[in-house]
Amino acid sequence: MRTVLVNCGPIVHLDVEGPCTGSDMSNEEMIYDAGKAIIINGNVIEKILESSEDAIDFTDSDSEIINVDGKAIIPGLIDSHSHIIWAGDRSREVRWKQQGHSYADIASMGGGISYTVAATRAANKTKLHNSAKKRLQIAAKSGTTHIETKSGYGLDLDSELKLLEVAHNLSHDDSLPTIDSTWLGAHAIPKEHTLKSYTEELISIQLPKIAESGLARSADVFCEPGWFGVEESELILKESRKMGLNLRIHIDEFVDGGGGELAADLKVDSADHAHYTNSNARNLMKEAGVNTGFLPGTPYSMGSDWPDFNSMISLDAPWSIATDFNPNNQILSLPFIASCLVQRCNVDPLSALVASTINPSLTTPHPSGLPHGRICEGAVANINILHSKHWESWCLTPGHSPVCATILNGNYQLHDF
């Protein structure tokens, strides 16, 4: 069955060779003027037509015709780094932060990741499924059509598998964003282990079973002084690659811990946070083709400074942004994250959109194998219709969603027209 979008406003199509870097990120040739029509067949964009009149040839009694009424159109957003599946509530930590306790202090006071691990281990799959489903529905209302999510709050084989199974079950729900699943067993050292004994457990017990399960496409490590060092991270990631997993890494969230050099050396798909990465490591990452995944929600939630996003434009290196939704940073809206860049850090709204669509599409592929994060013939029909006729509005309403309707895998979902 066809869905036909007529009277489209400006379409930010982003139909370019990715990754898009440097000044290309703000090139207005990536935008079509208003007036076009988009033909969707099943879950694929079949045709982009010059005018709504031309759409007649593609409609029959079965077609669903949507009058976009001149509203602006952008691609479905891709959240390439999140932690959606966990239980518990860490709200009390906000006052500890205000009293001057660091993230590491809070962990040693019984908060942080290990608090979430205890609650998540105790939760059954139904409870985890229901809370994660609600989060995915909220993300979808803000235009997310595809999301990467990680395990990492189980930290033993059965609990990590439980989280990946929940992700797998959610991935069968057509009303939700599609899911890219990552194993993050190396997220923290559980109380019953030392760094050495847990690293051994990760490699010899968890990894073989996780790889055999087929439930994770990638492996990730929290490489940060105080959690996993460069040496352990290298070992875990190299073994993961041998077992057929793709690689991602958390680096330099609080200090420059040498993760950037490792990310370049291993040519991981995406090195995320990368807040305090030194310029030599940024150059090495660029040469190695490693994407930098900025996670501005973390400095927002922690009350720390923003990284210098525009320096990535000068460096001409590939970068993306993502929510990093987690118990310490409960942001599910990519438009809000982009607002932080655009309205607080002087980043161009078109560059911020590239960093939320086409660039993360390369590190976070769609399960169909089709291109996504762009609006072109042959791509997945993941499209957002905005409330405004101006595409720039996509990141200018931090308190509510700029999206009035989403085409998710070809299915029209009206949020609020």
Of 324, 339, 351, 393, the residue at the interface with ligand NIG (CB under 6 A) is 324
- With contact defined as beta carbons under 8 Å apart, do 13 and 376 qualify? yes
Of 39, 113, 379, 407, the residue at the interface with ligand NIG (CB under 6 A) is 113
Q: Which does 2 bind (CB under 5 to 8 A by kind): Fe ion, ligand NIG, none?
A: none
Closest to 155 measured CA to CA, from 199, 110, 197, 188 = 188
Q: Which does 254 bind (CB under 5 to 8 A by kind): ligand NIG, Fe ion, none?
A: none
Check the CA dihedral 134-326-394-182 and report its sign.
Answer: negative
Of 252, 253, 261, 269, the residue at the interface with ligand NIG (CB under 6 A) is 253
Closest to 233 measured CA to CA, from 190, 208, 274, 265 = 265
Is 239 among the residues that bind ligand NIG (CB under 6 A)? no
Site track 302-341 with Fe ion (rule: CB under 5 A), x = hit: ----------------------x-----------------
Site track 194-233 with ligand NIG (rule: CB under 6 A), x = hit: ----------------------------x-----------
The residue among 116 and 233 lying less far from ligand NIG, judged by its C-beta, is 116
Cα 126 to Cα 132: distance, rounded to the nearest angstrom: 10
Burial 102-131 (b: 16+ CB within 10 A, else e): ebeebbeeebbbbbbbebbbebeeeebbee
Is 112 among the residues that bind ligand NIG (CB under 6 A)? yes
Long-range contacts of 104-113 (CB under 8 A, 24+ apart): 104/226, 104/254, 107/188, 112/188, 112/328, 113/152, 113/153, 113/187, 113/188
Is 250 among the residues that bind ligand NIG (CB under 6 A)? yes
Is 116 among the residues that bind ligand NIG (CB under 6 A)? yes
The residue among 327 and 335 lying less far from Fe ion, judged by its C-beta, is 327
Helix crossing, 279-287 with 259-266: angle to 10°?
10
Closest to 173 measured CA to CA, from 412, 408, 381 = 408
Minimum distance from residue 76 beta carbon to ligand NIG (Å): 23
Is 151 among the residues that bind ligand NIG (CB under 6 A)? no
Binding residues for ligand NIG (CB under 6 A): 83, 112-113, 116, 222, 250, 253, 298, 324, 326-328
